[in-house]
Amino acid sequence: MQVQTTALPGVLLLQPQVFQDERGFFVESFNQRRFAQATGVDVPFVQDNHSRSRRGVLRGLHYQLPPHAQGKLVRVVRGRVWDVVVDLRRTSPTFGQWLGLALDAEQHQQLWIPPGLAHGFLTLSAEADCLYKTTAYYDPACERGIAWNDADLAIAWPAVEGGYQLSAKDDRQPALARAALPDGAWQS
Ligand SMILES: Cc1cn([C@H]2C[C@H](O)[C@@H](COP(=O)(O)OP(=O)(O)O[C@H]3O[C@@H](C)C(=O)[C@@H](O)[C@H]3O)O2)c(=O)[nH]c1=O
């Protein structure tokens, strides 16, 4: 597994080894020991999520507050998305900065997002299936969001034919400046 650091501390782009042959491919999509060795992150994952989205669907930007803050290991098994994370860790040198990158089913990349970042994605292909593991259970009471189009963040979402489609909830998320953030640690 190859590990690439990113502009946001702790956010890692992982490239697992893909075994191609005449039948198709094989990949270890998750191996706890290999993941811990490669990233230095040794955390239990407790929930696996799967969402399907049509082109133009934009989900996000989502996070959960402590004590249910989530680390997420994200991959795409069908189609292509543009994935975005925003650093919400007040003590981070990159607080308030965002990172966007493409994830797709062909390349099998995975994005490790530690607790303390908001996450979202835009579907670029006709359909996309996104799978992600989380380090804490879903907790609606701790669920929070930030506006995808917050002018201060100025996220450069790619243009998509037909425009963006959001949930009613994501249509009215607050700007980062008005978002509920903990002062202290994000780790659960
Ligand atoms: C996230 C989640 C949702 N749900 C339910 C609540 C709701 O009725 C339905 C759809 O929820 P949402 O609209 O929040 O789904 P969605 O917009 O796909 O939310 C997800 O977005 C991406 C970007 C993330 O990073 C995830 O952590 C998660 O927040 O599924 C669960 O039961 N468990 C979960 O873990």
Give the chain's domains with CATH numbers.
45-178 (2.60.120.10)
Residue with tokens 């907790």: 139
| CA 139 to centroid of chain Cα atoms | 17
Torsion of CA 133, 107, 121, 58, to 10 degrees: -120
With CA atoms as reference, report the closest residue to 123 among 78, 183, 186, 81. 81
In this structure, the residue with its CA closest to atom 17 of ligand 1 is: 59
Half-sphere exposure of 34 (CA within 13 A, CB side): 12
ipTM score of the complex?
0.98
**CA–CA dist 13, 80 (Å, integer):** 16
Q: pLDDT by residue (tens digit) across 23-64?
A: 999 999 999 999 999 899 999 999 999 999 999 999 999 999
Q: pLDDT by residue (tens digit) across 136-180?
A: 999 999 999 999 999 999 999 999 999 999 999 999 999 999 998
**CA–CA dist 18, 84 (Å, integer):** 24
Q: pLDDT by residue (tens digit) across 60-83?
A: 999 999 999 999 999 999 999 999
119 lines ligand 1 (CB under 6 A): yes
Percentages of the chain per state (helix, strand, coil), in multiples of 5: 10, 40, 50
Q: 3-state DSSP call for residue 169?
A: helix
The full length of the chain comes to 188
**CA 22 – ligand 1 centroid, Å:** 37
In this structure, the residue with its CA closest to atom 7 of ligand 1 is: 140
62 lines ligand 1 (CB under 6 A): yes
Q: Which amino acid is at 166?
A: L
